[in-house]
Structure 1
Amino acid sequence: MKRILMLATGGTIASMESGHGLSPAITSEEILSHVPSVGELCQVEAVQLMNLDSTNVGPEHWLNIANAVRERYDSYDGFVITHGTDTMAYTAAALSYLIQDSPKPIVITGSQKSIALDDTDARRNLYDSFRYAVDRDSHDVSLVFDGRVILGTRARKERSKSFNAFSSVDYPERAVIRDGKLIRYLAPRPYAYGAEPVFYDRLEDRVLLLTLIPGMGAEALGLLKDRYQAVILQSFGVGGLPGGENGPLAQAMEEWLLAGKTIVMMTQVPYEGSDMSVYQVGQQVKERFQLMEAYNMTLEAAATKLMWVLGQTGDPREIRELFYRPVQFDVIQ
């Protein structure tokens, strides 16, 4: 039997009513006690890393989770991480960059309702996660939810209450799990015997997201320049900048770049990505400033990858090279 370690971090799956709303309170061992059938799949142990609402989970916690996996990597055949749904896609993406080329599966899951409730999705999601983790062809970081197995770099929460909360954006699901049976859509990545993952332990969290709306000025971009190392500008459609290459936003962007800061352009549209070369309002800006573009990356992947890249280097050439280097099919140009 394989040995799988469950790392509990809190979230709805572990929540109880506090008198002031739901709050994580159920321990890792209590979570496992609700799904005794997991014991038929593998030898399972549990560690309580934290017990947080995922709204409060950020870069510091991603590093802690990655380090917890690193310290125990040689002792287990795979890992299941229970997590709140609100920032689960960010954590899945972040771990995809912090733990690369892992021949062992690292599975993230959670639920829309507490595991203590009768009508919860938690028990199914947890069982499916262990079912995926014990399979010999499971590798790298994945998110398992509502019977879907999604690449860690391609997951996005699209529904706030429904059980089918997550989708795989612009890339096929890895697999589905139906009645305990694993059906793969994508061929597993081959790993040589004895292959080892690459762990990283640095993130630069001073990354700003600025979503443009029609008529928006450039003041905010200028005021925030000294507080952040990078900004992701979410523009419209396939990508363009209001005012073009000589407008106020372009001038504010030029100040960022002259200060040695990083700018990434991406679209607000959920699917199919950006292509700034299509329209003049995008092409001229990109050519003038040599901007980086997220193309069809998810926001979660673009933000956490930028944090990872800037944690490794401050050299503009290396930043560009690392940002465009595919990790788990996160970007397709």
Structure 2
Amino acid sequence: MINNSKILLVYTGGTIGMIKDFETGALRPFNFDELLQSIPELKLLDHEIETVSFENPIDSSNMNPEYYLKIAEIIEESYETYDGFVILHGSDTMSYSSSALSFMFENLNKPIIFTGSQLPIGDLRTDAKENLITSIQLAGLKKNGKNVLSEVGLYFEYKLYRANRTTKINAEHFQAFSSLNYPALAESGVHLDINEAMIKKANRRKKLIVHKELDNNIMVLKLFPGINENIINQLISAKGLKGIVLETYGSGNACNEDWFINLLDKAIKNGILIVNVTQCIGGSVVMGHYATSTRLEEIGVISGKDITTESAVAKMMYLLPKELSSKVFKTIFETSLRGEML
């Protein structure tokens, strides 16, 4: 595999872009214009690396669809100039952002790799350098002059995942992310081991389409034993609500008492779209497998199958502006668009 590509590094904010002042102990933003001087190992990649940063980098807790659009437009404007893109992002909401970008870019045939770190780039024990170096290497991989990767990925702690399959599982370990329902696309060891059977194949004849409309009039409703009728009624009666990602138990099970089913049924009849996803980080919703999910299926709740909550949120934001009928929305949501579900 030949590694001589032009890569654009986009810094949005997050721990990876901070460096410690060893005199004061305070963290300050890293100057990405001095990237090659600060991380000379990048020169070994033989890549041409250019950088762009948000004018005001943000903590990923403040990430929202307006910033998704900003990232997407930076990539769109530079799409023909670069072979691959690396997005530096805070880890807390990285799965949400990278999932959203996967839906926004249709017919993508270049890699967009999200990465970050648990420790600042200037910390003695940082994971930032390895994550950054390998993400750039992956974004630049070519075989026979063509990109090896052509999808939105998330790289962290020696593994590249399909971004819309990931969930952050740990706040302090370097292995912060997991993808229990889909294997890693690549693993970094002595060699870069690409799982070619699992990577998305690009259709280079189709033109890139960037979907820029997202609708965030949605909510995530996580069930728990004892959740009551009054609270759910207040939540689903919110003005402007268009969609609910319903986090149920196990394989898609929920309370099947009349008051609960009647509330969801009323919401659906009022045009609110409800998607059933499991609270488990692995496994799949199987509607009708148990009696406790049969009634959900009967009233028109949509099966999220093995999609993550993060990806379900992104997919709903992506589909709502298209003003589909509830039947068509259900059909499309239950269909894999970017490899986000089986």
The aligned residue for residue 110 of structure 2 is: 104
Q: Distance in 2 between matches of 1:207 and 1:22?
A: 38
For the pair 1:9 / 2:12, whether they are aligned, the reply is yes
Length, aligned pairs only: 326
Deviations 1:237-295 (A, max 9, x none): 21222134xx22112112211211111112211111211211112112311x1210111
Q: 2:246 aligns with which of 204, 210, 233?
A: 233
Q: What's the C-alpha RMSD, in Å, of the aligned pairs?
A: 2.0
The aligned residue for residue 256 of structure 1 is: 267
For the pair 1:308 / 2:321, whether they are aligned, the reply is no
Instruction: Tell me whether 108-117 or 32-41 shows the greater mean CA deviation.
Output: 32-41
Shift in Å at residue 34 of structure 1?
A: 3.1
The aligned residue for residue 293 of structure 1 is: 303
SS in 1 for 2:102: helix
Deviations 1:137-185 (A, max 9, x none): 1111101111101001111111111111111121111011124x31112
Q: Distance in 2 between matches of 1:24 and 1:87?
A: 21
The aligned residue for residue 84 of structure 1 is: 90
The aligned residue for residue 145 of structure 2 is: none
Shift in Å at residue 218 of structure 1?
A: 2.3
The aligned residue for residue 37 of structure 1 is: 41
SS in 1 for 2:131: helix
Deviations 1:213-258 (A, max 9, x none): 11111223322323321111111121222134xx221121122112
Q: Distance in 1 between matches of 2:26 and 2:274?
A: 38
Q: 1:318 aligns with which of 323, 328, 334?
A: 328
Q: Distance in 2 between matches of 1:191 and 1:254?
A: 40
Kindly indicate whether the alpha-carbon contact (under 8 Å) linking 1:159 and 1:166 is maintained by their aligned counterparts in 2.
Answer: yes
Partner letter of residue 341 of structure 2? Answer: V
Shift in Å at residue 192 of structure 1?
A: 5.1
For the pair 1:146 / 2:149, whether they are aligned, the reply is no
Kindly indicate whether the alpha-carbon contact (under 8 Å) linking 1:100 and 1:140 is maintained by their aligned counterparts in 2.
Answer: no
* TM-score normalized with structure 2 length: 0.89
Partner letter of residue 220 of structure 2? Answer: L
Consecutive unaligned residues in structure 1, runs of 5 or more = none
Q: Distance in 1 between matches of 2:16 and 2:286?
A: 39
Partner letter of residue 165 of structure 2? Answer: R
Q: Distance in 2 between matches of 1:259 and 1:192?
A: 39
Deviations 1:22-49 (A, max 9, x none): 8772243245543222233210100012
1:108-119 equivalent positions in 2, closer than 5 A: 108-119=114-125
Kindly indicate whether the alpha-carbon contact (under 8 Å) linking 2:9 and 2:50 is maintained by their aligned counterparts in 1.
Answer: yes
**Kindly tell me: are residues 30 and 255 of structure 1, through their superposed partners in 2, closer, same or farther at Cα, counting changes over 3 Å?**
farther
The aligned residue for residue 101 of structure 2 is: 95
Q: Distance in 1 between matches of 2:254 and 2:286?
A: 12
For the pair 1:185 / 2:203, whether they are aligned, the reply is no
Q: Distance in 2 between matches of 1:184 and 1:229?
A: 40
The aligned residue for residue 26 of structure 1 is: 30
Partner letter of residue 72 of structure 1? Answer: S
Kindly indicate whether the alpha-carbon contact (under 8 Å) linking 2:275 and 2:301 is maintained by their aligned counterparts in 1.
Answer: yes
Partner letter of residue 29 of structure 1? Answer: D
Q: Distance in 1 between matches of 2:96 and 2:49?
A: 26
Shift in Å at residue 193 of structure 1?
A: 4.8
The aligned residue for residue 62 of structure 1 is: 68
Q: Distance in 2 between matches of 1:257 and 1:45?
A: 48
* TM-score normalized with structure 1 length: 0.92
SS in 2 for 1:226: coil
Partner letter of residue 17 of structure 2? Answer: A
The share of aligned pairs that are identical, in percent, is 29
For the pair 1:74 / 2:80, whether they are aligned, the reply is yes
Kindly indicate whether the alpha-carbon contact (under 8 Å) linking 2:219 and 2:244 is maintained by their aligned counterparts in 1.
Answer: yes
Shift in Å at residue 100 of structure 1?
A: 2.4
The aligned residue for residue 198 of structure 1 is: 209
